[in-house]
Structure formats: C-alpha cells, structure tokens
Amino acid sequence: MRGAYRFCILLYPRQHRDQFAEEMLGVFDEAFGERRERRWTWSVRFAFAEITGLLAGAAEAWLAAKPAAEVQTAPCSNLPQELIEVQQRVDANIAGMVHAIANHQFEWARIHSDAERRARESLRVLREKHGARNTE
C-alpha cells in the first residue's frame, strides 16, 4: 500500500514533491497504522480514497504551478529569484491548505499551514535582506 502511495507522489511537480513528500508519507503512515487492525474492506476504501485524493491533488498542483520562465520574464519584476520562489511556496501552501479544507482533509491542511508559516518567515527574512517592501 505504501509503495503505491509513494508512486502516486511522483505524479506531483518536483518542487511540490521536494517540499511535501516526506510529510505526506508520514501522515499516510500514521493514518494507515492507526486503523490497520480494521477489516480488509476498510483498507480497500482507505486506499481508494487516498489514491484518488493524490491524483486530484497532483492535477491541481500541476495546474497551479507557474513555469519558472514565466516568472523570470514577468514585467516590472526586479525582485531577486529567491524571493520570487519563496513567495511561490507561500502561495502554493495557501492553495494546498484551501484545497485540503474544502475536501475535509484537515491533517493535510495542518501540514500546509505549518509549511506556509515557515515559508512566510523565510519570506520576511529575505525581504529584510533585499530591502523589498512587504506588499501583503
């Protein structure tokens, strides 16, 4: 079961996998482990729900991802690339959190919330470093 889950994570964009794969596997292992002693019908339903959620999440992540070239050639963008990338991480985490809440996946929402908080702190530090104004 874990192998199929890990394989489906490969369907996500690389940046998303790099940022969330270990956390996703950890939450999956915890959820599956807590309910492992239940009947096999539960395992089938659980597997179906998780794989379906991963496929939908991967499609959404690809639709939300902006190509790096698009960001680099944005008009009036004189911001450093590292600042742009951290802002994209913040935006991706917010989108992931909204999606998780809309689908009642509150464990995932917590993961995205924690990651968004860390990304915002990185963004604050980078803005100070580069003297960029806070546009939020």
| Domain locations in the chain as residue ranges | 1-65, 66-136
| Contacts (Cβ under 8 Å, ≥6 apart) of 45 | none
Report the distance separating Cα 58 and Cα 76, nearest Å: 31
**Which residues, other chains included, contact 40 with Cβ-Cβ below 8 Å and sequence gap of 6+?**
none
Q: Is the pTM of this model over 0.85?
A: no
Per-residue pLDDT, 66:
58
pLDDT in tens, the chain (136 residues): 788 888 888 888 888 888 888 888 888 888 888 776 777 788 788 888 888 888 888 888 787 765 544 444 444 467 788 888 888 888 888 888 888 777 778 888 888 888 889 989 988 898 888 877 655 4
Please give the C-alpha separations between residue 72 and each of 39, 69, 81, 102, in angstroms, as whole numbers: 52, 5, 8, 32
- With beta carbons less than 8 A apart as the criterion, state whether 97 and 109 touch: yes
Distances (CA, A) of 52 to 13, 58, 95: 17, 10, 18
Q: What angle do CA 12, 105, 62 make, to 5 degrees?
A: 20
Rounded to whole angstroms, the Cα distance separating 49 from 39 reads 16
